[in-house]
Amino acid sequence: MTFDLLSVKEKKVQKSSKLFFYSPRKKVLLLLFIIIIFIMADWTDCLNFGISIAKQASEVVLTAFHQQKDVKLKSSPADLVTETDQRVEKILISAIRDRFPHHRCIGEESVAAGERVQLTDAPTWIIDPIDGTVNFVHRFPFVAVSIAFTVNQQTQFGIVYSCVEDKLFYAVRGGGAFLNGAPLHASGQEDISRCVVVTEIGAERDDLALSTMTSNIFRLLKLPVHGVRALGTAAVDMCQVATGGADAYYHIGMHCWDIAASSIIVQEAGGVVIDTDGSAFDMMSRRVIAASSSAVANRIAQVVQAFPCRRDDEDPDRCVCGAAAVNGL
């Protein structure tokens, strides 16, 4: 789907020729509106470009999906990286820098290689080349390319391409959420006992992190909820909330590139995204609840416990979770 605001821009520019006859206040308001239209057009161009490169990246992922992978470990035996992760990220970042040379990029594999996460007011692309790398390695069919775009540290649009499913999720701030062009709507469920909740165990494997994550699942099941599910990719998990197929998602320990795109997709579908402590959502905090309603989000916040995690925008060598974070390692 291509968004075209050209006709709108032309109309506004034509009207601007009549500014001479307007009062100073009307002139200011009209000029501001024209500026907003041009800014929106720039973001629309970015969105269309983002969708295009997400599809190109998906083709690379699908080509490699059934092939033998060269797998390396990062922070734990459950934190994997493949040559395809690295290649896809290079393709995406190279394309973005060629098209928008003044934009910034935050990519999972670039951070793993030592780059520091710095989210500024500048236009910034936040990229996860393959969300669900363990799934990708094992050919479990939930892997996604995730791309978010921020300006002034606020996400303007998000794109999640579920590669094997051939599902394109995307959302624009103030413009709604879509799946393959069709509008998305969260379930609106307010009764936690009638919810399907999605979560992940994640890559953390120390005792504190594992015991916290498993006890959170136990507490949710005892509320009760209808069920707890895990697909192995935070981006697709959260998109299930946007579709209404799941009513909530929560997790501790994921990274900004896992949830930046899907968080705005949930919000634009009518859902709610908050921190696990009930405060406002902060993508750098590594904690999130996405839900069908404020009632469900707040109920989950009352139940789940978080283990310590250093923020994404701190020193990458010290972005650890669990007991290591408690001990300041």
| Residue 172 confidence class, pLDDT cut points 50, 70, 90 | very high
Told to judge if 258 belongs to the known catalytic residues of this protein, a careful annotator would answer yes
Give the active site residue among 51, 126, 130, 147: 130
- What local confidence, expressed as pLDDT, does residue 281 receive? 98
| Residue 1 confidence class, pLDDT cut points 50, 70, 90 | low
Q: Is the pLDDT of residue 321 over 90?
A: no
- What local confidence, expressed as pLDDT, does residue 194 receive? 98
Cα gap 22→26, rounded to integer Å: 6
Q: Is the pLDDT of residue 11 over 60?
A: no
Give the active site residue among 85, 93, 106, 108: 108
Per CATH, the number for 192-326 is 3.40.190.80
Name which CATH class applies to 41-183: alpha beta
pLDDT, tens digit (0-9, with 9 covering 90-100), for 121-134:
999 999 999 999 99
Cα gap 101→109, rounded to integer Å: 20
Q: How far is CA 163 from CA 49, 54, 235, in A?
A: 18, 9, 12
Binding residue positions? 108, 128, 130-131, 258
Q: Is 275 exposed, middle or buried (0-12, 13-18, 19+ CB in 10 A)?
A: middle
173 against 23, higher pLDDT: 173
Give the active site residue among 128, 204, 237, 312: 128
Find tokens 């925008």 and name the residue. Answer: 313
Q: Is 52 exposed, middle or buried (0-12, 13-18, 19+ CB in 10 A)?
A: middle
How many degrees, rounded to 5, is the angle at CA 313 between CA 308 and CA 315?
Answer: 80
Told to judge if 131 belongs to the known catalytic residues of this protein, a careful annotator would answer yes
- What local confidence, expressed as pLDDT, does residue 9 receive? 41
Binding residue positions for Mg(2+)? 108, 128, 130-131, 258
pLDDT, tens digit (0-9, with 9 covering 90-100), for 114-170:
888 999 999 999 999 999 999 999 999 999 999 999 999 999 999 999 999 999 999
Asked if 126 and 313 count as a contact pair (C-beta separation under 8 A), the reply is no
Told to judge if 165 belongs to the known catalytic residues of this protein, a careful annotator would answer no
Give the active site residue among 85, 89, 109, 131: 131
Q: What's the whole-number mean pLDDT along residues 3-32?
A: 52
68 alpha carbon, distance to own chain's centre: 28
| Residue 274 confidence class, pLDDT cut points 50, 70, 90 | very high
Find tokens 């494997």 and name the residue. Answer: 205
pTM of the model: 0.85
Give the active site residue among 82, 133, 199, 212: 133
Give the active site residue among 85, 200, 237, 258: 258
Cα gap 202→160, rounded to integer Å: 19
- What residues form DSSP beta bridges with 229? 198
Q: What are phi and psi of 17, to 5 degrees?
A: -70, -15
Q: Is the pLDDT of residue 197 over 70?
A: yes
Average pLDDT, the chain: 88
* 244 Rama class: left (phi>0) / alpha (psi -120 to 50) / beta: left
Evaluate the omega torsion of the peptide bond into residue 224 and state whether it is cis, within 30 degrees of 0: yes
Told to judge if 130 belongs to the known catalytic residues of this protein, a careful annotator would answer yes
DSSP 280: B
- What residues form DSSP beta bridges with 296? none
What is the residue extent of each domain of the chain?
41-183, 192-326
Asked if 224 and 256 count as a contact pair (C-beta separation under 8 A), the reply is no
Show Cβ contacts of residue 219 under 8 Å, excluding neighbours closer than 6 positions. Answer: 303, 304
- What local confidence, expressed as pLDDT, does residue 70 receive? 85
pLDDT, tens digit (0-9, with 9 covering 90-100), for 215-255:
999 999 999 999 999 999 999 999 999 999 999 999 999 99
Assign 3-class secondary structure to 37-91.
Answer: HHHHHHHHHHHHHHHHHHHHHHHHHHHHHCCCCCEEECCCCCCEEEHHHHHHHHH
| Residue 10 confidence class, pLDDT cut points 50, 70, 90 | very low
- For the residues of 105-159, what is the DSSP string, one character each? EEEHHHHHTTPPP---SS-EEEEEEEE-HHHHHHT-S--EEEEEEEETTEEEEEE
